[in-house]
Structure 1
Amino acid sequence: MRQQRKPPKERTQSACLQAHQIPDQDAAQSSTVEDSGAGPLAAADLESDLAEMEGGYTSCSPTAGTGALGASGKPAVEVQHLRDVIATQRNEIDRLKYECEVLQEQLLQTKTEMHLSHRENRRLTARLEEKENRTFCIEHFKHSDEDVRAYTGLPTYRHFQALMTYLNPGKNGINVSRSAGIKASGGRRRKLTAENELFLVLQKALDVGQYNWCPHQELQLPFKP
């Protein structure tokens, strides 16, 4: 009957050196075991013992490596370096995610402001168009010769432009004398252009001409019906 084998003891450097001599002493150990009454060992048990001893020798051999090995078989220093690189990349990813969230919020805010600006622009444009439609000026009648004749007494809008060129009011009416002998006061800026001022003057002259009274007879004649 076989005796129960004891677990192998932890091998030291001397034990590792002795392990190299075991293949030469296989016959002696076999005879010793048989003589002690323990019974012959199976071949599998001997191979197992040999593998354990070779493994112990490899682990304690000075040529096994210069440092501790990681789980993947790489030195611990290299493993730690890779961990540091991964940690740095994760921090960079977190930073970029945060910047992306901030930029998305800014984009949403900009879109909202743009939408409000467009709506305000449309409102002001509509208000300006409404104000221009309410303004009584020559530009509203330049495409209708009948309206130009009714308000100014001139046949067409081209005749009105020819009269403006002849009078030569200058840019922004700079050549027009507002009041002779009286210094112009620094009041509000005039809203009417030189064209519209002439348009109003022609209307008044036309009204005066219809009542057959005008201090300037040469201006009265063109406006008589």
Structure 2
Amino acid sequence: MDTIDIKSTANVNPELGKRTWEVQDSDNLRKIARLPSQWSQNFMLSTIITTDSKNRSVINSKALAEITKLINRIDSGLNLILKGKRTPENIKLFEDIKNDFLDLVNNLGINFDNDALTYLLGSISTKESTGIDGVDAFNLIFRTKNTDSKNGAAINSIRNSVYENIRAMAANKTLVTKFRGVTISADKIFNYYNPNSVLNLMAIAYGETHPTPEEFSVTGADGSLVYPIT
């Protein structure tokens, strides 16, 4: 089965969530590379897009308000956890935060689930300051402000890149905006060229935890494909 192994990079600052990638087979990479485009098309078909009185495709203000609630709730919860320690209350709060995150990205058209999120958080090397596995890694993918990935740092987070692009589109009443001088259109909103962009890391995590049935197929006696799993 084709795999892409992600492991922590030696002698780097773990607070930046740096890693190296070992690509062992190109088939899975091609499948994974298609995911951001598929998610962008899902975004265009989601309730976040609507038509205004002038028959223009724009961001749905009501849907954006619901997304903003989730963003703010995750923000607030993270702030509480990062100020504290490993307690039963904070462990439960982190589970709630992860569920809110999955609701958030699913509402945006990003197919992602707990298995993929667990894989993603486990692939990022962080200091885990709270003693709760995954908190610091989650903080990075959700709201890192890193813009320099030269040393392998994760960049373009959900909170400070994706969400801000959607807000800018809503404010401008158009499905096109600019982010750091680069034009971003809604139909390619999740397409980031940098491999360390959070959306690309999410695509790897989803692809690795959701292999297609063909990857497990074998050729039967009559030459047909047989799938030993369902």
- Structure 1 length-normalised TM: 0.19
More relative contact order in 1 or in 2 (CA 8 Å, sep 6+)? 2
- Structure 2 length-normalised TM: 0.18
From the two aligned structures, give the one with the greater strand fraction: 2
Structure having the higher Rg: 1
From the two aligned structures, give the one with the greater helix fraction: 1
